[in-house]
């Protein structure tokens, strides 16, 4: 491939554990289930692998079509591998000005914490979920903690007359005192299941990046990168780009005292049996 497959800025605003629509989950999962507490399990036969998994709730919370497709896959009883995508992703950057979100295997990155202005202390960035990179907290203070469900970015704190920006999220958080409106989007989940070979040319891109913040005033934190899982039955060759970077940018000099970038997401490439 020499095109682009992207889940950049396409993370889902939802509490993965919700089985119905809630304030955190605007659209209920069509399969009527929330994601199990243990996470989303994907399993396949794989020569030389020795995992055991016979779960019957595969891809619950991911929609009826995904559940139906995975239900046709056999159990792995010492003859395959199971990948578990955790419900909670990388941790949000701590509530100190300009801290980058965390990383976690097989999961999106956390959101960055916003900048501060003099004595204002921003809230921490949001944790990632299995569906989304974490959202950024707002700039300024007092502390305004971002949510942990890939929702709206944290609102800016009113720390005087200086304009401050909200954090990047779905959508971006609200500014104060004439601060710049924030960008929207978080890194999403991208799973590729390929029975044959995967060959990525020099201009090919498979990406799930987080989103950087705007520049101006006291900036908010950036959003976390997503999660890419590529399982192929044949060979793998990459001359292009496969990445899930956290959002970067949004420097607010001279007012901001640092800005938190989004945590780097996860990229996993593995082989499976071609059957």
Instruction: Summarize the confidence of residues 232-238 as an average pLDDT.
Output: 97
Confidence (pLDDT) at 177: 87
- Measured from the Cβ of residue 268, the count of other Cβ atoms closer than 10 Å reads 14
Listed by start position, the domains of the chain span 1-13+88-275, 17-85
CA-closest candidate to residue 211, choices 168, 258, 180? 168
- Measured from the Cβ of residue 140, the count of other Cβ atoms closer than 10 Å reads 37
What are residue 205's DSSP bridge partners?
4, 241
Write phi, then psi, for 243 (nearest 5 degrees): -160, 155
The answer to whether 194 and 270 are in contact (CB under 8 A) is no
Question: What pTM was estimated for this model as a whole?
Answer: 0.94
CA-closest candidate to residue 258, choices 116, 154, 85, 147? 116
Q: With cut-offs at 50, 70 and 90, classify the pLDDT of residue 219.
A: confident
Residue 250 confidence (pLDDT) above 80: no
**Window from 31-35, 74-78, 85-89 with minimum mean pLDDT:** 74-78
**Window from 74-83, 246-255, 263-272 with minimum mean pLDDT:** 246-255
Q: What is the pLDDT of residues 95-154, one digit of tens each?
A: 777 789 999 999 999 999 988 876 667 889 999 999 999 999 998 877 678 999 999 999
Write phi, then psi, for 78 (nearest 5 degrees): 80, 5
Please count the CA atoms within 13 angstroms of the CA of 262 that sit on its side-chain side. Answer: 43
Separation of alpha carbons 196 and 231, rounded Å? 10
Under DSSP, is residue 104 helix (H, G, I), strand (E, B) or coil?
Answer: coil
CA 221 → CA 59, 68, 134, distances in Å?
Answer: 31, 38, 10
Peptide bond preceding 254 in cis form (omega within 30 of 0): yes
More confident residue, 70 or 274: 70
Give me the chain's average pLDDT, please. 92
What are residue 238's DSSP bridge partners?
200
Buried b vs exposed e over 162-187: b needs ≥16 C-beta within 10 Å?
bbbbbbbbbbbbbbbeebbebbbbbb
């Amino acid at each position: 491939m020499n095109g682009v497959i992207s889940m950049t800025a396409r993370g889902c605003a939802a509490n993965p554990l919700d089985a119905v629509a809630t304030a955190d989950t605007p659209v209920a999962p069509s399969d009527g289930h929330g994601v199990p507490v243990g996470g989303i399990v994907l399993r396949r036969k794989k020569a030389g692998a020795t995992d055991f998994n016979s779960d019957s709730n595969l891809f619950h919370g991911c929609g009826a079509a995904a559940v139906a497709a995975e239900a046709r896959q056999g159990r792995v009883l010492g003859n395959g591998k199971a990948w578990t995508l955790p419900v909670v992703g990388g941790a949000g950057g701590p509530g100190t000005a300009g801290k980058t979100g965390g990383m976690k295997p097989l999961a999106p990155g956390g959101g960055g914490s916003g900048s501060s202005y003099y004595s204002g202390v921003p809230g921490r960035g949001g944790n990632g979920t299995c569906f989304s990179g974490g959202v950024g907290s707002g700039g300024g203070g007092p502390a305004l903690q971002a949510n942990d469900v890939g929702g709206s970015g944290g609102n800016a704190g009113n720390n005087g007359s200086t304009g401050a920006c909200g954090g990047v999220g779905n959508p971006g958080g609200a500014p104060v005192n004439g601060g710049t409106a924030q960008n929207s989007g978080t890194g999403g989940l991208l799973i590729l299941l390929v029975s044959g070979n995967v060959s990525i040319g020099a201009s090919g891109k498979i990406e799930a990046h987080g989103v950087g913040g705007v520049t101006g005033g006291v900036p908010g934190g950036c959003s976390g990168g997503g999660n890419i899982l590529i399982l192929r039955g044949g060979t793998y060759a990459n001359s292009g780009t496969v990445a899930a970077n956290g959002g970067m940018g949004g420097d607010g000099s001279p007012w901001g005292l640092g800005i938190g970038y989004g945590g780097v997401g996860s990229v996993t490439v593995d082989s499976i049996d071609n059957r």
